[in-house]
Structure 1
Amino acid sequence: MAQPHFDVVIAGGAAIGSATAYFLTAEAGFSGSVAVIEADASYQHSATALSAASIRHQFSTPENIAMSLFGTQFLRQFSQRMTVDGDCPDPAFHEGGYLFLASGAGLDILRDNHRLQSSLGADIALLTPAQLQTRYPWLNTADLAGGALGLSGEGWLDAYGMMQGMRRKAIAQGATYINQRVAGLDHANGHVNGVRLADGQRISCGAVVNAAGTGAPALAQAAGIDLPVRSRKRSVFYVTCPQPLPDCPMVIDPSGAYFRPEGQGFIMGISPPADQDPDATDFDVQYDLFDDILWPTLAARVPAFEALRCGRSWAGHYDMNLFDQNLILGLHPAIDNLYFANGLSGHGMQQAPAIGRALSELITAGKFQTLDLSRLGWTRILQHQPIIEHNVV
């Protein structure tokens, strides 16, 4: 039996993989075949489906801001662009805004970030403590020096619906989805010739995209490349509160704790302390983190949260770039047809459209055409020159 061949094989079919498949198959100058290999056809364990499902422009790195600005534009056009057979999917995008709070120690960084964000077109307002108190009387501002509020373009959405919309559109445009796991790569002389699947099947290919999330390091290692990405567990807690919080945005406390409205309640979370954040593959919810750190922190920020009740909660995983917590995008110099899109460190869903477009441009034109994301390539990793992102949540 003839061995199947695809011009592009994408390892990983969640947000990044499906966005890449969509943009490739939508590209007028690309007439090749595309296969997306995804082991979890239900996506129940994907980082996209288990994320806090939000998008923000408030980063400190120009590339991150630009990618998320494009993500907002994409979401606003989503129903029209993803229509298949008259069915217009709704990503339920709610532009509720992000509110980053700063203590005195963080005020200068907040202001610097605001200048950069505004220069790139983000709609962000700086607020004084008095303005914060007037706008959000339920917020404790006693120890705050200011805040930055996204007035438009930032908010939250149905991440699973967004991913499925891109997947369905990519299939309608000719992409083939295969429910399997990539188990290895056949490569020689700096070139990948084929992809081996867990069921023993081999697919020959013209190019491979590593969009495998937390499975990306193993796939990179199959080509002899050390990818500095590891799986880090993040728990999301759903709570109800007897007191309403009018006009509540996505709030980022100076501690890094966050909360936002979700249905009749709120979701919230915080990263574990660095010494309590090992590699993880399980999905056990970190209730001790909620009891010992998150709840006390946010009850101090929002007194009404003293009376909250924790309900349905879940855990997912970040594909954390341990080098600098930023995306690693593009070709590695050792392999001429293996493209990387890894280490999103929690930003993958919101930046997936821009990344999918960028990968499509690299594959079809050999260069970035819309956004210059070259700084996010392998060069900084190999030369030990990290890009520092101050607004990691």
Structure 2
Amino acid sequence: MPQPNHSTYDVVIIGGAIFGSSVAWWLTQMAGFDGKVLVVERDPTYEYAATSHTNSCIRQQFSSAINVKVSQFGAEFIKNFRRFMGDDPEVPHLALQSFGYLYLADTPEFAQTLQQNQQIQVALGAGTQHMTAAEVAAAYPFYQLDDIIAANHNRVDEGYFDGGTMFDWFKRTARRNGVEYLHDEVTAMTKAADGTSVTHVTLKSGATVACGTVVNASGPRAAATAGMAGITLPVEPRKRYTFVFDAAKPLDRDLPLTIDPSGVHFRTEGKYYMAGCPPREDPAVAYDDFAFDHSLWEDKVWPAIATRVPQFDQVKVINEWVGHYDYNTLDQNAIVGPHSVVENFLCLNGFSGHGLQQAPALGRGIAEWIAYGAYRTLDLSPYAYRRIEENQSLIEKAVI
């Protein structure tokens, strides 16, 4: 394995996928920060990284204000990607396909929750509409809605985008700006005698480097990384399945990202359609467990799709994969910022499926914390680690 260029770094980022690379790039944008940054990535192909298995969606339909604000910045970043990247003509424009999420409620309780969520979102500037079943039918006559009471829908800055391109440019521009990427793996950490900081990280190659700050951006492996510093994180890998399918009778308009009461969600994907869901049982799995349950399509996904959209009675799966959520078992929300005791160990973990859309804002926030010791543009303190210690949930009612 190649060796690190230096024996000491101001920042060591563990994990070089979307969050590690977002932090790395944002650090190069922080005025006055000129520290040495090392990104340690165990698999530079990113074959099994959660980033590589993402569906690249973005929404503002959350129930907590901080999640709405974070995604609003994400939409701004996507729509102005080249400008954020310094107006480099090589940087492509990113399109945000705003067909929106459509949450369907089949119980009065969930309909009320959707209405409450919509009021929070609209107060923050989102374009979410609370709709009756009749209003949904008028806009999208292909749905079967006999069991549906109400829905929420937002077609403003909500849909999907090319997350792979965003990741690629975070990574390549960070490198171009002087960030060092190293194919290696952190295997141990050394703390100061008083336990308040990590002083060194040890690599699988045998090298040991001193560090000023450590950023845990290791996705579903976050708990193992934190454990090296004696820190407990309630984050575990959980499987999520994706299917891309062709329809013999395609719809005459875009299919919103439809969150069905069955737990299956599906949307337009170019000239095809994409569907996803959790498994029947949803336990933690091994970090390297990507075994595919092929019965899930026939037994769960296709029946839900064909029931909700009768026009999908003849479809064919053309691609499928399984990836991992870095699932926060406490409240399915991100854990962001410094540990309460090991103060130079920064968490960026536990996104539970909505990480990619949050990467621009949360990467910026961690970079601000490193450079200035505080969040400057968006207060991310609701995501702080302290709530884990105190068992105080950051409630999010809109988790897929």
TM-score (norm 2): 0.94
Counterpart CA distance in 2 for 1:284 and 1:90 is 36
Report the secondary structure of 1:10's partner residue. strand
Counterpart CA distance in 1 for 2:10 and 2:51 is 26
- Equivalence for 2:166: 162
What one-letter code is carried by the residue in structure 2 that aligns with 1:195?
Answer: V
Match of 1:336 among 343, 346, 354: 343
- Equivalence for 2:68: 65
Counterpart CA distance in 1 for 2:42 and 2:207 is 14
Q: Would the aligned equivalents of 1:98 and 1:149 in 2 still touch at CA under 8 Å?
A: yes
Counterpart CA distance in 2 for 1:247 and 1:84 is 31
- Equivalence for 1:223: 229
Q: Percent identity?
A: 40
1:26 Cα deviation after fit: 0.6
What one-letter code is carried by the residue in structure 1 that aligns with 2:322?
Answer: A
What one-letter code is carried by the residue in structure 2 that aligns with 1:201?
Answer: A
Match of 1:91 among 86, 91, 94: 94
- Equivalence for 2:153: 149
- Equivalence for 1:30: 33
Structure 1 residue runs without a partner (length 5+)? none
Match of 2:382 among 353, 375, 382: 375
- 1:55-81 CA distance string (max 9 Å, x none): 111011111111111100000111232
Q: Would the aligned equivalents of 1:231 and 1:317 in 2 still touch at CA under 8 Å?
A: yes
Q: Would the aligned equivalents of 1:90 and 1:161 in 2 still touch at CA under 8 Å?
A: no
Report the secondary structure of 1:49's partner residue. helix
Match of 2:307 among 300, 307, 319: 300
Match of 1:120 among 120, 124, 130: 124
What one-letter code is carried by the residue in structure 2 that aligns with 1:322?
Answer: T
Counterpart CA distance in 2 for 1:175 and 1:124 is 40
Matched, 1:101 2:104: yes
- 1:190-213 CA distance string (max 9 Å, x none): 211111111111121110100000
Segment of structure 1 superposing worse, 73-82 or 51-60: 73-82
1:327 Cα deviation after fit: 0.6
1:109 Cα deviation after fit: 0.3
Between Structure 1 and Structure 2, how many residues are aligned? 392
Counterpart CA distance in 1 for 2:115 and 2:380 is 24
- Equivalence for 1:81: 84
Q: Would the aligned equivalents of 1:3 and 1:202 in 2 still touch at CA under 8 Å?
A: no
1:84 Cα deviation after fit: 8.1
What one-letter code is carried by the residue in structure 1 that aligns with 2:53?
Answer: L
Distance 1:85 1:301, change over 3 A: closer
1:50 Cα deviation after fit: 0.5
Structure 2 residue runs without a partner (length 5+)? none
1:220 Cα deviation after fit: 0.5
Counterpart CA distance in 2 for 1:359 and 1:278 is 27
What one-letter code is carried by the residue in structure 1 that aligns with 2:235?
Answer: V
What one-letter code is carried by the residue in structure 2 that aligns with 1:229?
Answer: V
Counterpart CA distance in 2 for 1:374 and 1:183 is 29
- Report 1:346-357 matches (<5 A): 346-357=353-364
Counterpart CA distance in 1 for 2:331 and 2:198 is 27
**What's the Cα RMSD here?**
1.6
Q: Would the aligned equivalents of 1:99 and 1:149 in 2 still touch at CA under 8 Å?
A: yes
Report the secondary structure of 1:238's partner residue. strand
Matched, 1:320 2:327: yes
1:98 Cα deviation after fit: 1.2
Counterpart CA distance in 2 for 1:64 and 1:114 is 13
1:311 Cα deviation after fit: 1.8
- Equivalence for 2:261: 254
- 1:200-236 CA distance string (max 9 Å, x none): 1112111010000011111100011111100111110
1:335 Cα deviation after fit: 0.4
Q: Would the aligned equivalents of 2:328 and 2:334 in 1 still touch at CA under 8 Å?
A: yes
Counterpart CA distance in 1 for 2:166 and 2:307 is 35
- Equivalence for 1:182: 186
Distance 1:70 1:84, change over 3 A: closer
- Equivalence for 1:205: 211
1:3 Cα deviation after fit: 5.3
What one-letter code is carried by the residue in structure 2 that aligns with 1:247?
Answer: D
1:96 Cα deviation after fit: 2.0
What one-letter code is carried by the residue in structure 2 that aligns with 1:244?
Answer: P
- 1:340-381 CA distance string (max 9 Å, x none): 010000111000011101101211222222212212111211
Q: Would the aligned equivalents of 2:82 and 2:88 in 1 still touch at CA under 8 Å?
A: no
What one-letter code is carried by the residue in structure 1 that aligns with 2:162?
Answer: D
Q: Would the aligned equivalents of 2:130 and 2:151 in 1 still touch at CA under 8 Å?
A: yes
1:142 Cα deviation after fit: 1.1
- 1:262-321 CA distance string (max 9 Å, x none): 122111011123x44332432222222222111111211111222111121011111101
4+ residue segments displaced more than 4 Å: none
Q: Would the aligned equivalents of 1:3 and 1:204 in 2 still touch at CA under 8 Å?
A: no
Distance 1:92 1:49, change over 3 A: farther
1:85 Cα deviation after fit: 6.0
Counterpart CA distance in 1 for 2:90 and 2:6 is 35
Counterpart CA distance in 1 for 2:57 and 2:183 is 27
What one-letter code is carried by the residue in structure 1 that aligns with 2:319?
Answer: R
What one-letter code is carried by the residue in structure 2 that aligns with 1:313?
Answer: E
What one-letter code is carried by the residue in structure 2 that aligns with 1:48?
Answer: T
